[in-house]
Structure 1
Amino acid sequence: MENNNKSPYESGLGKVPANFEALSPVPFIERAASVYPNRPAVIYGDLVRSWKDTYTRCCQLADALEKRGIGKGDTIAALLPNLPEMLELHFAAPMVGAVLNAQNIRLDADTIAFMLNHSQANVLMVDAEFASLARAALLQCDHSVLVVDVEDVVSGFDEHIGSLTYEQLLQEGDASYQWSLPDDEWQAIALNYTSGTTGNPKGVVYHHRGAYQNALSNILGQNLPPHAVYLWTLPMFHCNGWCYPWSVTAVAGTHVCLRNVRAADIFTALSAYKVTHFCGAPIVLNMMLNAPEAANIVLEQEVTVTTGGAAPPAAIIEGMERLGIKVVHAYGLTETYGPSVFCDFQQAWAELPMEKKAAKMARQGVRAPAVGRLMVANALTLEPLPHDGESMGEVFIRGNTVMKGYLANPQATQEAFQGGWFHTGDLAVCHPDGYIEVKDRAKDIIISGGENISTLEVENTLYQHPDILEAAVVALSDDKWGEVPCAVITLKAGADVSADDLIQFCRARLAHFKCPKQVVFSALPKTSTGKIQKFALRELVKTAQ
């Protein structure tokens, strides 16, 4: 017999405007402007703009876009470096219900054109440095796009290809514009395209709820305090800057924009603006450590850098700590809004020798505060593996900070979410303390004579050599073993080390079957976010055989 008696907790206690509204990061900027109107929101060169003025500009831009017919579900593409305008778009676009597609400025015209067509972009914001690139892409566009020129006098570039400038568009808007929250927090807020190393890139769709939660998760994961001063070394086009446009705004911090990521500029900004936090791939940290300015830097303030995109070698963590910069290791993917795992620092690690402490910190860590669940499991059965630091399986993630799915690609979406989990494609072990350690991408693991070899383990060993600037390890085909490790090395300036020297260095520290059987000296091809392109390295080592 059916029981129709409702629990008292379900009667007369429904969602009403007084107790429920859609989660979205957009209100962060309204709060910052109303509570701290005169605090600096943005610094870029000689420009210092308050939170009140920044919020006003976002409202004006939103109103101008709406008057131009841009609204819910429309796509606003942006081909911009880390400028104040890029930050403003992270709020103005969702204010009208539009979706921001921050595009990678280092891609080719064909790929840009694919993204414009695939997303049916209504607007394209273009920095003058990339005007020629945008023009070539627009020639392949299958629909009309409103092109807006973003002027940056600091850059020295002045080519215009749009029908109006950003500032002219801004003047069309009213600062008193009344924006509203999305009808549904599941509504799309941003679109980010994956690298697309084979075939066309996939469009990863974020929603307001996920952006809100990941922004707050970053604050806890990186210990972002009120009024943090954040340096933009990480591209805002990469996973929407790992959601930090929203995180830093939530704490009413200061966004210090940096057009070009150069070691000298980073060190200057750290000192001049008393920067407290920044993010970057290990390649950025390595660049800093090997810059002449590193020898003379003296930081008066506490600085924290969150690194991810690739596992940072322990040697890089040690080096940053010597500079007085605390390292937080994060792990995530475009599909998880960027950071979804943080290597939370345990106080007991502070007493460890630097080498052992760095090794602990080089692990990916535990799930971020907003992540629902994280596990290392059998890739086929989804059965969780023992926390023994040895059993290797795939990393699976689920929760509110996983993408909606891939735009107009239901098959890829279904495959990514099979079994109710997001399949990362990364192989890892889980240690007894619950911290995961990624060993490789599934496609990068080397299987030599039936033994699995983690390329990251070999790379970490190579980075201990004082003459190595950069190192990457890939599989080399071998008649006897099937595959063997091959190291591609970039030496520091003036270094004189042979391939045999490096092989022997590894043999003194690793099981011999894990050591490189061949060494190639070359610059390492990288993506625009600093990830080493191992597919390109595989082609390189084939020709070196």
Structure 2
Amino acid sequence: MKKPLLVTDFLDRARNHYGDQEAIVATTGERYTYDEFGDRADRLSAALADRGIEKGDRVAVLDPNTHYHLESAYGIMQLGAIHTPLNYRLTPDDYEYILNDAGVDAVIADYAYAEKIEAVRDDVPTEVFVSNDASETDGDWEDFEEVIDDASPDDYERPEMSEDDIITINYTSGTTGDPKGVMRTHRTETLHAYIVSVHHELYDDDVYLWTLPMFHVNGWGHIYAITGMGAKHVCTRGVDADDIVETIRAEDVSFLCGAPTVLNMLADYYEEHGEPEMSGDSDVRVTTAGSAPPEATIRTVEDEFGWYLKHLYGLTETGPLVTMSDARRLMDQDDDSRFKMKKRQGMGVLGTEVAVVDDDGEEVPRDDSTIGEIVVRGNQVMDGYWEKPEATEEAFNEKREGWFHTGDLAVVDDHGMVSIQDRKKDIIISGGENISSIEIEDTLFEHDDVAEVAVIPAPSEQWGETPKAFVVPASGDPDEPGVTENEIQEFTKEHMASYKAVHRVEFVAELPQTATGKIQKYELRAREWDDEDRMVGQG
């Protein structure tokens, strides 16, 4: 028989079997069972319905990793409305674009970030504004607790939903121009959560620490998978090494995810604090993504912390999970050679086809040296880009019809394990966040003392990669540029989200160009990464 795959099934299952078990440890100190979690989500569904939210409407959530985000996601999706999580690191202008592009009908925002929405409130179509602490939020915002207190869990009806309905839109970081809304259906989200559950070995007695942002591809699927398994969510308001280690011990955390920058932070903490105990009674598993952490970091995590590390690869468009380096039959767990394998992006996960292809769409040899583009086909891959049919068509058909083209360039070994070498598009992955070099360049061109500029990823021990700007000053003299490196950095911080700001600046007399005047960024990247084992994606 065929049963529709709906994301609402995850919370339904947890309520049915684990209703009296602890579901959420909140940042505010409360602890909620799955029955209580479900009741709060039901009340929010009723409240949103009372405010006119219907199936297909978009509701944005701007929130760190709190229980309000989990409740909001399910409260929205139970109405068949479209959960639209927002990156809390963006600027008001970014939110103005996204809220207009998606036609967002309601916003639920954390008090610490609501001011960024308030700044563009009159320029967006949104009519419903809810804050988790209205007393700390400027403007006319309803209070989350008052909203659900005034609602009855019985005052809403779930509409009929299809597994092919769009249920969430996740905006990319705008690696080429404006960000695009990645549409994901009940089916893609559900099957991705199933894949995550298998490859992350999730069980009902897991305690999951939210160091990975919930907005980021719906927390890599863990808002679904952890919930559906009946495991426990431990929420956070940010990433702090002291808090992470203390929480891991106090709550007996067994699983967490995080970018290499989080692992590097913890490695520094471990050394600075005299090698403290890094776990409770349970064994700890950790998954990282983005630029692979250095082998020294992996060694510290596994040999010193006593954790088990996995490295995954994917994109917002793919769920994200499409490959994982956890191939235990191919590595010796007692030999240091395993660290090199764990740095690879890995092999395709269950139900997923991953190929590295040349410009004709043919697979490159498995010789670990021939470079091609990674293309993907799987049930977890997006439905398309929101109201961008041409971009969708190109993404799925540029070299191979029906395959998603990642734009990442890689080699592949004899076991089919990929290793990213470079990027087709000018994208920087810093601390797990995608940053557009084009966006930074456009910003810097507005500076009076900048004549030409090229931005590339530079190696960073802390972030994996960090933006570096090669600037031809308006003065024409790199020795007397008329502007300082710090002034360039501060200019980008003033005009962009802080995590996108340039961290390094080099003044040059000219930029390498082709005969037609196109800047050859590859030459700059090759020079910058000359002393690294891999140019990009390997830490």
Which bin holds the TM-score, normalised by the shorter protein?
0.7 to 0.9
Between 423-432 and 217-226, report the one with greater CA deviation: 217-226
Number of the residue aligned with 2:306: 324
* Aligned residues: CA RMSD: 2.9
Q: Please give the residue correspondences for 1:63-462 in structure 2 after superposition, counting only pairs within 5 Å.
A: 63-141=46-124, 143-151=125-133, 158-176=136-154, 179-180=157-158, 182-291=160-269, 292-293=272-273, 295-299=275-279, 300-321=281-302, 322-354=304-336, 356-371=337-352, 373-378=353-358, 380-418=359-397, 419-443=401-425
Q: Residue deviations 1:374-418, cap 9 Å, x none? A: 11111x211111111111100001122111111111111111111
Are the counterparts in 2 of residues 76 and 101 from structure 1 also a CA contact under 8 Å?
yes
Task: Kindly provide the CA deviation profile for residues 354-390 of structure 1, in whole angstroms up to 9, marking residues without a partner as x.
Answer: 2x1110111111112243x111111x21111111111
Displacement after TM superposition at 1:351 (Å): 4.3
SS at match of 2:112: helix
Cα pair distance change 1:543/1:170, threshold 3 Å: farther
Contact 1:44-1:84 within 8 A present in 2 as well = yes
After TM superposition, give the deviation of residue 347 of structure 1 in Å: 3.7
Q: Distance in 2 between matches of 1:402 and 1:259?
A: 29
Q: Say if 2:42 and 2:75, in contact at 8 Å, map to a contact too.
A: yes
Unaligned runs of 5+ residues in structure 2 are 428-455, 471-488, 511-539
Secondary structure of the 1:426 match is strand
Structure 1 residues 305-329: Cα deviation after superposition (integer angstroms, max 9, x where no partner) = 1110222222221111121121110
Distance 1:428 1:359 in 2: 16
Q: State the Cα distance separating 1:294 from its structure 2 match.
A: 7.0
Q: Deviations over 1:477-525 (max 9, x none)?
A: 9xxxxxxxxxxxxxxxxxxxxxxxxxxxxxxxxxxxxxxxxxxxx99x9
Alignment CA distance shift 1:384-1:301 (3 Å): same
Compute the TM-score of the two structures, normalised by the length of structure 2. Answer: 0.78
Query: Which residue, out of 503, 506, 510, partners 1:541?
Result: 506
CA distance, structure 2, for counterparts of residue 260 and residue 49 of structure 1: 20
Find the aligned partners of 1:151 and 1:293 in 2 and give their Cα distance.
Answer: 36
Gap runs ≥5 in structure 1? 1-18, 446-454, 478-521
Report SS of the residue matched to 1:28. Answer: helix
Tell me the amino acid that sits aligned with residue 61 of structure 1: L
Cα distance in 1 for partners of 2:498, 2:349 equals 22
CA distance, structure 2, for counterparts of residue 429 and residue 216 of structure 1: 28
Q: Distance in 1 between matches of 2:508 and 2:298?
A: 34
- Show CA shifts across 1:81-121 (max 9, x none): 11101011221111111001110111000110111111111
Which amino acid in 1 is paired with 2:342?
A: M
Shift of 1:536: 4.3
Corresponding letter in the other structure for 1:440: D
Query: 5 Å matches for 1:443-482?
Result: 443=425, 469=462, 472=465
Q: After alignment, is 182-191 or 279-288 more displaced?
A: 182-191
CA distance in 2, matches of 1:267, 1:184: 42
Q: What one-letter code is carried by the residue in structure 1 that aligns with 2:65?
A: N
Structure 1 residue 293, shift from structure 2 partner: 4.3
Which amino acid counterpart does residue 6 of structure 2 have in structure 1? S
- In structure 2, what is the Cα distance between the partners aligned to 1:473 and 1:82? 25
Q: Indicate conservation of the 8 Å contact 1:444/1:475, yes or no.
A: no
Q: 1:348 to 1:21 in 2, by over 3 A?
A: closer
Say if 2:130 and 2:144, in contact at 8 Å, map to a contact too. yes
- The answer (yes or no) to whether the contact 2:89–2:499 under 8 Å persists in 1 is no
Cα distance change of structure 1 residues 82 and 422 upon mapping to structure 2, 3 Å threshold? same
What's 1:36 paired with?
18
Q: In structure 2, what is the Cα distance between the partners aligned to 1:80 and 1:532?
A: 17
Paired with 2:111 and 2:242, the residues of 1 have a C-alpha distance of: 24
Counterpart amino acid of residue 357 in structure 2: A
Give the TM-score normalised by structure 1: 0.77
Aligned-partner Cα distance in 2 for 1:220–1:305 = 14
- Cα distance change on mapping 1:316 and 1:182 into 2, 3 Å: farther
2-structure distance, mates of 1:194, 1:49:
32
Answer yes or no: is 1:56 the counterpart of 2:39: yes
Offset of 1:63 from its aligned partner? 1.8
SS of alignment partner, residue 415 of structure 2: coil
Pair 1:242–1:285, CA change in 2 (3 A) = same
Structure 1 residue 340, shift from structure 2 partner: 1.8
Structure 1 pair 470–211 and aligned structure 2 pair: CA distance change class (3 A) = closer
Residue 48 (structure 1) shift: 0.6
Q: Percent identity?
A: 32
